Chain A
Amino acid sequence: MASSLLYKAQTRWLFHSHIKLKLSVFYDDAIFDELFGALEEVNLNYNSYTKGSHFDRINQNAGQFTPTDSHTVELLKQLDSLSDDLDGEFDITVMPLMRLWGFYKENNWLLPNGKDIELNKQYVDYKNITTKGQEVRVGERQEIITGAFVKSYAVDRLVEKMKSMGISDAIVNAGGSTIYAINNESHDSWPVQVDEAQKGGRPLFQLRISNECFSTSSSENTYIEIAGKRYSHIISPKTGYPSENSQVGIVSPEAMVGDVLSTGLFNFDKDSFSKKMKFLSTKYGVEGFLVDKNGEITFSDNFERYIL
């Protein structure tokens, strides 16, 4: 049931996304600076696109150990485990393939040939990331790309901070792909609208989530077009080719877990998705759905309980 409570909302631009925070109207506006500050801190220290961040320095010193901090090492450990659980369909070293497919070029997008794909695939392997204490090393010509997890990692850190500040009714919408709901007894859930992953796509369903995150991956906004055909920005590290699926949605207790799983599962077909979700639901307490290229939706066993 929709709440009649009033909230204050602010939207700022960070992690190449519009980040919206919405919390009780009784808070002073100054609280937003403090909360966005927590996100900015993650951006400064852990975004591989921020010069001087831990991941930027690791990439710059490829082939050599680089001093980092405990959070970086912990993050890498968690990401390694998630990649294992996704059978290697999520890999933070996928950058050479991203470049090959033209996601860092302007114009001149050409379909890469099989030989080049194989050549670049040899540099894509998260198992080549080595840690020694708080030092980290990636293989030569390897590069860690944080785009698939740093924003949601920041949201987890923010939610932790908000809860420690006593905020018990709020929602964080990080660019539409990571939406975290914080709820209490007087407001037990937040609604999330899910539409078809295409411009002007029709509504699929509305969810209600509570103290959980909804993460979604799709090629709705991020794709390249070669010879009139669209290719998703989510590339399978195993095949070297972009997935043809349309959308994946995951509800999870932690934002980063949901974000990584939705990215990795984007490379699964509907049958392997169903099987994998049984395992992931048990291990991480997540539920989700996949929309394939034909628009066919596959739900995990208990996802439908979130649908209104």
Chain B
Amino acid sequence: MSQIKKILLYLIGIGLLIFGNRDVLAKISNKKAETPEKELKSDPKIFSKRKDSVRREAIKVVEKKNNALLDSTQEITAAKISSKREERAAKKIEEKKKKAEVVAATTPEETQKVEDTPKTNIEKEEPEKAHGTE
């Protein structure tokens, strides 16, 4: 009888040990899982490190976006400048053309330009406009 009691007690002991340890293990693992959060909240150094790296990442993203924006702005500005330059160049050409027209039908170096692809239009009788030498 005493031996049976001993065995039972032994088994109960083992059971207690196993189940008790599971809780303990569970508690320990939970503690481990919670630790970083707790540490983050509780340890200002770790939190600040994390925050810095996140900030750096954010800054990098923002910088990237800024650069892209800057590039596109520069492109637009360059395009605007070049279109303005083109406009100015076209204006100058136009002015030169006008001056050349003043020199008129008379420039010895005149080149006779004939339109490459003349178009044929269908017209009715319309008054032809008379004016001085082109």
Contact = CB atoms under 8 A, between A and B. Distances in A.
Interface residues of B, number: 34
A220 interface: yes
A253 to B, nearest CB: 17
B134 A16 contact: yes
Given A4-B124, A7-B122, A191-B125, A16 B132 contact: no
A65 interface: no
B4 interface: no
Given A16-B104, A103-B103, A192-B127, A217 B120 contact: no
Contacts of B100: 106
A155 interface: no
A37 B127 CA distance: 25
Interface string B18-57: 0000000000000000000000000000000000000000
A103 B124 contact: no
B130 interface: yes
A49 B108 contact: yes
B103 A104 contact: yes
A18 B114 CA distance: 9
Interface in A150-199: 151, 171, 173, 175-177, 179, 187, 190-195, 197
A216 B130 contact: yes
Contacts of A260: none
Interface of B: 96, 99-110, 112-115, 118-134
B22 to A, nearest CB: 101
Interface of A: 2-18, 20, 22, 25, 29, 32, 36, 40, 43, 47-50, 98, 103-107, 145, 147, 151, 171, 173, 175-177, 179, 187, 190-195, 197, 206, 214, 216-224, 233, 247, 249
A6 B124 contact: yes
Contacts of A222: 101-102, 104-105, 132-134
B51 to A, nearest CB: 70
B105 A16 contact: yes
